Structure 1
Amino acid sequence: MISEPPLPAELRALFAAGADTGRTLSVPLPPGRPVRSEEEPSERPAFWLGDGPAPAGLWARLRAEHARSGLWPLLLDSLDDEDADYRPWGNGEVLPGEMSSPGDHDPDALLARWWVDHTADDAEDQLTPAERAAVTAPFGRTWPGPAVAPLGGKDPDRIADGLAEQLVAGHPSVRIGLVAADRGADAVTVAGWTGPTNYTGDTAEVSAVLRSWEDRFGARVVGVGFATLVLAVAAPPTTRESAMAVAAEHFAFCPDNIWQGEAPHTLAAYADRLVDDHSWTFWWD
């Protein structure tokens, strides 16, 4: 019987003491390095980063070994293609020590609170109260509650592997990253990603919602940029009615998707684009 090769030392360092025992990885990795936070003194790296563009097919092979390796792969992109520091990943512009645990947060309560925050009047807002309410019509300022999990759906792993290939082919600057996380939803928190910092300084809140989407929609975290997030979705909404409920969650989670996304800037228009869409992309200004 051929035994699987153990994790190399630079990958074992990603785990807490004793948590790397028995972990294996048979997938050859390109040249890379562990990355620590530039602001937090720590012997434990936040993640491992490939030095160059992610090879085709690598994300899927690493995802398939997650159960044995404990390492969730991410396709990481920088703030700017011309950025020599490859921010925030290459220079360690991350804060894992400031994050709580995703399990400490109720995703339904978070979405409800964020909805109230984003639909409230703003003294600096250029919209009238009526115009602001129209953005989230027919719900207005009333939180409609979480979307119902759809029945059925495709294989989450196959959908995620396909999206990863699309990202590698369409964005040649992306690099492979590895994070010591039990599930993809937690990877952004473990890595100390601060992309949504203008809305929350604790990425564990984001991960709590991502956990819920993993469970309800077969979502998988695939790509992460400076302030962007790309998910594969095995069971997206299939009707406009169900898409409206999901759109409400997206607005609570990332209002810039509607406020600064594709016109017209309304929940209804955004929902139309969610029907049967197997990838969800978020951008925080």
Structure 2
Amino acid sequence: MATLPNPLPDPAAAGLDLPPGSLVDATLDGPWHEPLLWYADGAADQGDWAGLRAAGRRVGLLPVLVTGGQRDQWPEAWDLSPDSASYPGDHDPEEVLAGYWTDYADDELGDGANAAPADGANGEPGDGASGAPETGSGTGSGSAGAWPGLAPVPAREAAEDPDTAAAGIVAVVAGDADLWLGGTRMALVPARRSADIPAAIGWTGAVNHENDVARLCAVLRSWEDRYDARVVVLGFDTMIVSVGRPPATMEEARALAAEHYAFCPDNIDQSPPYDLDAYAEKAVLDQDAWSFWWD
């Protein structure tokens, strides 16, 4: 994929004074021709993000937290495959999501379990008639229904700058990382925008769902535009996104939950209560961070 000139081969020449760390060029096919990322040797500190972001952005680098997870797998062991990543800007996010919806939703959501109740025998509308995109017919037809389309931009205004919101999530994660992530470290990646970070390093954490991570990045770009989202954490098969402008109503949350399902079906299919409406309420509505994992 197209990138800015990479300053990582000689950070000092680019004016970067980085703490001790590692340059990663390990891929599935052997060493890459240049470093894909730098990450620190030591645990992330809550105050590191702003400084690294300011220093890195000047030379085309963006920060992200990396985690080894419970299996202690750091980026050298992530099976990176930059050759497999195209350019995010070449993909239409709605086409990408609609394709995933067609591939997965009928199989997993097509039993009507997540749908609005069908009209009653007396002809009155069921309680679920909310105007939100339907994830099933509610009639036991076995179909999850057509792709409902992209969710609208939330009506609420953002409370703060998206990068400030991202720094707040990073502070929370870095401060509590050992309890649930197995530790985090600061990293810098040559990328134009936060949404492109997974493609820039050839991340393969979602390979069982999508072979070309740039297609997922196209969706992340759309979330940047609509929800002030930023990619703030990457692990071997996990991702956390900060959200500066989350849905504020259940209608908005349900619409976005359909996108989340298409983007990462495992979030619903393999996570109790296995229900899209419950996911919308608990994981999307008013949430300032979204977590994803792929089996």
Q: Give the TM-score category using the shorter length.
A: 0.7 to 0.9
Aligned partners of 2:216 and 2:162: how far apart in 1? 20
Per the alignment, residue 51 of structure 1 pairs with 41
Contact 2:66 2:185 in 1 (8 A): yes
Supply the AA of the counterpart residue of 2:100. Answer: W
Per the alignment, residue 7 of structure 1 pairs with none
* 1:184 aligns to 2:191 (yes or no): no
Q: 1:170 aligns with which of 173, 176, 193?
A: 176
Structure 2 CA distance for partners of 1:161 and 1:103, relative to 1, 3 Å: same
Structure 2 CA distance for partners of 1:241 and 1:97, relative to 1, 3 Å: same
Supply the AA of the counterpart residue of 1:29. Answer: L
Contact 2:114 2:135 in 1 (8 A): no
* 1:103 aligns to 2:89 (yes or no): yes
1:266: how far off? 1.1
Per the alignment, residue 135 of structure 2 pairs with 139
The answer for unaligned runs of 5 or more in structure 2 is 1-5, 117-133, 137-143
Per the alignment, residue 162 of structure 2 pairs with 156
| 1:221-260 alpha-carbon deviations (Å, 9 max, x no partner) | 1001111110110100000001000101100100111111
Supply the AA of the counterpart residue of 1:147. Answer: A
**Where has structure 1 moved over 6 Å in runs of 4 or more?**
none
Question: Superposed, which structure 2 residues align to 1:245-256 within 5 Å?
Answer: 245-256=255-266
Per the alignment, residue 31 of structure 1 pairs with 20
The answer for unaligned runs of 5 or more in structure 1 is 1-9, 15-19, 122-126
Contact 1:47 1:191 in 2 (8 A): yes
Q: Report the 3-state secondary structure (helix = DSSP H, G, I; strand = E; otherwise coil) of the residue aligned with 2:232.
A: strand
| 1:201-224 alpha-carbon deviations (Å, 9 max, x no partner) | 111011100000001100011001
- Matched residue count: 256
Aligned partners of 1:32 and 1:220: how far apart in 2? 23
How much identity, in percent, do the aligned residues show? 43
| 1:93-152 alpha-carbon deviations (Å, 9 max, x no partner) | 21112111101111010001101111234xxxxx7x853x42465322221100001241
Q: Report the 3-state secondary structure (helix = DSSP H, G, I; strand = E; otherwise coil) of the residue aligned with 2:217.
A: helix
Question: Superposed, which structure 2 residues align to 1:1-285 within 5 Å?
Answer: 11-13=7-9, 24-25=15-16, 28-40=17-29, 41-81=31-71, 83=72, 86-87=73-74, 89-91=75-77, 93-121=79-107, 131=111, 133-135=112-114, 138-140=134-136, 141=144, 142-151=146-155, 152-154=157-159, 155-172=161-178, 173-263=183-273, 265-273=274-282, 274-285=284-295
| 1:49-108 alpha-carbon deviations (Å, 9 max, x no partner) | 211211221122222344312111111012425x3xx34x03362111211110111101
| 1:173-192 alpha-carbon deviations (Å, 9 max, x no partner) | 11111100011110111111
Aligned partners of 1:23 and 1:233: how far apart in 2? 31
* Range 249-258 or range 50-59, more displaced: 50-59
Contact 1:24 1:68 in 2 (8 A): no
